[in-house]
Amino acid sequence: MSNYENYTIREMQAITIAQQIEDGQIVIVGTGLPLIGASVAKTVFAPNCKIIVESGLMDCKPIEVPTSVGDIRLMAHCAVQWPNYRFIGFETNEWLHDENRMIAFIGGAQIDPYGNVNSTVIGDYNNPKTRFTGSGGANGIATYVDTVIMMQHEKRRFIEQVDYVTSPGYMDGPGGRERAGLPGNRGPKMVVTDKGILKFDEETKRMYLAGYYPTSSIEEIVENTGFEIDTDKAVALEAPSPEIIKLIREEIDPTQAFIKVPKD
């Protein structure tokens, strides 16, 4: 008999993602954990949310888990198949009309206290130690859409200053987005890691610890953060219910494309 109480960290992350999505929101996701989380949200928490991907596919309802944003399994069950430039125009148009319906999930290699994300290079831009794939659509998304950032919680990733700003957060603090010519009414809302969740103070725009998983602790998170972080508001998060774990394993990702099931 399967043990649905023996959840994994990745399942905890996916459910945490799902809980950030509100009913009726338009949700920009890639594949992997954000798609698993959005699928959980659409099934359990927010049945009227609309899933879209940056390849231009709108209101996706995949029956099987896709492996890329251009996967035919996304195309087969979506409301509209737009070219990519229409997707970019759509997210910009939402901001121009002062709509607040969208939320997006992005990731990267580094993040700083104000939610600026680097997915371009480690080291000097012209002579980097490591070069990554770059923005994709993340810069445009972070410019015009409120974001939730996915990140492994390691000191080398959570650093005082990123080597390169690929996707803008709150730049250098209050008013930073406006000074950079970015919409001031958009920005990162949360960071979901493998240890907990972090949010941003409304006044200082600086990251603080909001919650930690049953498998982690405040001390472990502080130890793995490369800058000073406020922990006064941190609370212990509840373990996921066996019913939602069963949903992920049997209906959403039954082939274990993105989440491997522990052996009983």
Query: What amino acid positions are annotated as catalytic residues?
Result: 54
Q: Which residues contact 228 (CB under 8 A, 6 or more apart)?
A: none
Asked if residue 64 lies in contact with residue 77, where contact means CB atoms within 8 angstroms, the answer is no
Asked if residue 45 lies in contact with residue 23, where contact means CB atoms within 8 angstroms, the answer is yes
Q: Which two tokens stand for residue 121?
A: 């290079």
Q: Which two tokens stand for residue 99?
A: 């709509």
Among residues 136, 140, 167, 137, the alpha carbon closest in space to that of 151 is found at 167
Sign (positive or negative) of CA dihedral 84, 86, 92, 95: negative
